[in-house]
Amino acid sequence: MPLDELAHATPHPFDTAVRLTPEHEGATEGRWRGATSPAYANMIGPFGGTTAATLLNAACIHPARIGEPVALTVNFAGPIADGEFTVTARAVRTNRSTQHWSMELLQGDGVAATATAVFAVRRETWSATDAAFPQVPAADTLPRATGARVAFVRNYDLRFVRGAPVPRGEGGEREAPADSVTTLWLRDDPPRPLDAVSLAALCDVFFPRIFLRRPKFVPASTVSITTYFHADAALLAQQGTRHLLGTARALAFGNGYHDQTAELWSDDGVLLAASHQVVYYKE
């Protein structure tokens, strides 16, 4: 069997990570079971990108769903332990061409994450891009980053143009760069055709900007992420398994929270998504 057929014989690790099954036979529509995936483990708990993607997936697979995602907000309310969880998805309002969703991720007695999403049937209109596609060398001219210290990063092929994590010296200290910008090529590894669910996860691959900006390690984690989808399914399918170009930067850090904003572009310069998040940090 050729390698590419073999690759399709078992599910992609990302599809395993975001997989949802009905909670039990005859379960109310909109209640599913999922489970954290060791392949997408973060330092503590699962990679937030797969959590966001799982919550989006719950709306995508709901039989009442219309259209495609336009906006997704995920709030990380509490720690997610390794193992099973329940996801609920409720169509709060369905209009002629738009639909509003509320989702929750439940574990034990608590809500570990909440989310809202807007779906829409999109039609061709006037279009324009005001953001600028960064001037960068081609992905295949850059080395793939290695030495990931957390599992989920190994499922992404990352090629840094600028703003790579800086190795720390023996004392754990390093020189902090002058700004918080990271620009990189990124895609799933093994390669997986792009769709809205995987794009939702890719939007969270940019590590907290505080890691770049501070000369020492401080605990940090995403509290809330919002992604706007500029691409529809057809455009995402066109991108296939090629690298996306991503760029992210923080706007401000203070009193335990900073924000950051990211753009994800197709390799031929189409803005696929803009994503914003607020991150807790300790010192």
**How many residues touch a second copy (CB under 8 A)?**
63
* Amino acid in the structure at residue 96: R
Nearer to a second copy, 62 or 159 (CB): 62
Among residues 86, 107, 116, 238, the one that binds a second copy under rule CB under 8 A: 116
Q: How far is the CB of 231 from a second copy (least distance, A)?
A: 8
Are 251 and 261 in contact, with CB atoms under 8 Å apart?
yes
Among residues 125, 135, 141, 146, the one that binds a second copy under rule CB under 8 A: 125
Nearest to 207 by CA among 245, 253, 159, 248: 248
Sites for a second copy among residues 233-272 (CB under 8 A): 249-257, 259, 261, 263, 271
Token readout for 69 is: 């995602």
Stretch that binds a second copy, among 44-52, 190-198, 200-208, 222-230 (CB under 8 A): 222-230
Nearer to a second copy, 22 or 79 (CB): 79
Q: How far is the CB of 226 from a second copy (least distance, A)?
A: 4
Strand partners, 215: none
Among residues 38, 78, 190, 269, the one that binds a second copy under rule CB under 8 A: 78
Sites for a second copy among residues 52-71 (CB under 8 A): 70-71
Our finding on whether 111 is near a second copy (CB under 8 A) is yes
CA diameter of the chain: 60
Are 70 and 103 in contact, with CB atoms under 8 Å apart?
no
DSSP secondary structure code for residue 206 in this structure: S
d(CA 255, CA 252): 10
Our finding on whether 31 is near a second copy (CB under 8 A) is no
Q: Which residues contact 109 (CB under 8 A, 6 or more apart)?
A: none
Q: Which residues contact 194 (CB under 8 A, 6 or more apart)?
A: 187, 236, 237, 239, 240, 241, 244, 272
Reduced 3-state DSSP string for 170-193: CCCCCCCCCCCCEEEEEEECCCCC
Stretch that binds a second copy, among 25-33, 102-110, 155-163, 194-202 (CB under 8 A): 102-110
Binding site for a second copy (CB under 8 A): 70-71, 73, 75, 77-78, 92-93, 95, 98, 100, 102, 104, 110-112, 114-116, 118, 120, 122-131, 179-180, 209, 213-214, 218, 223-224, 226, 228, 230, 232, 249-257, 259, 261, 263, 271, 274, 276, 278, 280-283
